[in-house]
Amino acid sequence: MSDKKLKPAPLANEGLSPDERGLFCDAAPREYEPAKGVIEDFYNWARAESLWILGFGTGCGAIELRPLMTSRFDMYRYGIQARPTPRQSCVFVIGGYASVKTLKRIVRSYEQMMGPKFVVALGSCTINGGMYWDSYNTIKRIDQYIPVDVYITGCMPRPEALLAGFQELKKIIKAGKGEGQNIYARDFAWYKANQKQIIKNWDMPDYNW
């Protein structure tokens, strides 16, 4: 028996044409390997004090993010900065209900983010469907499709609740317990199966890195 770890089989990328499959990543996500001792503690401190967020608002779900940028709440003093693209972000804030149509964009955005990365579910609609829980087009539990690190309940949560949620996320990161990215890597097949049950027109790579 060899002690070498077997490499996982490449992803099929079945949603793409044969000509396009070679243009995209065919490797599954890998778990983040922390550094040792105080070095990882320093990294986690730096990550916690520099939260670059990607806001994914679906209607009223994003309305409370805007006041955080005003002088009254001033999220920048907490090291929180909004960024325009997934590649520049490490915190994914999903606000409002997630629909069948938008789930594909949520998955693609999350998978394109740099790691370590974290997810904040903002509002009751994001967490459990909220007032739209019995709609045919509403995702009931976003954490069955991507991992969630912090839940902020309410309809809608006030800006103070958002700041409290970010402070809780900072504690999780500094404690080295922000395991969402690793959970996604370990349970990748389960998450992907759930996603493909909802997203019928799967015309994208199996992993969007």
pLDDT digits (tens, 9 = 90+) for 91-137: 999 988 888 889 999 999 999 998 899 999 998 888 888 888 888 88
> What's this model's pTM, rounded to 2 decimal places?
0.89
Structural domains of the chain ordered from first start = 50-198 (3.40.50.12280)
Q: Please list the residues that pair with 82 across neighbouring strands.
A: 53
**What span, in angstroms and rounded, lies between the C-alpha atoms of 136 and 145?**
17
CA–centroid distance for 73 within its chain: 24
What are the phi and psi torsion angles at 124 (to 5°)?
A: -65, -35
pLDDT digits (tens, 9 = 90+) for 53-92: 998 887 676 777 788 888 888 888 888 888 889 999 999 9
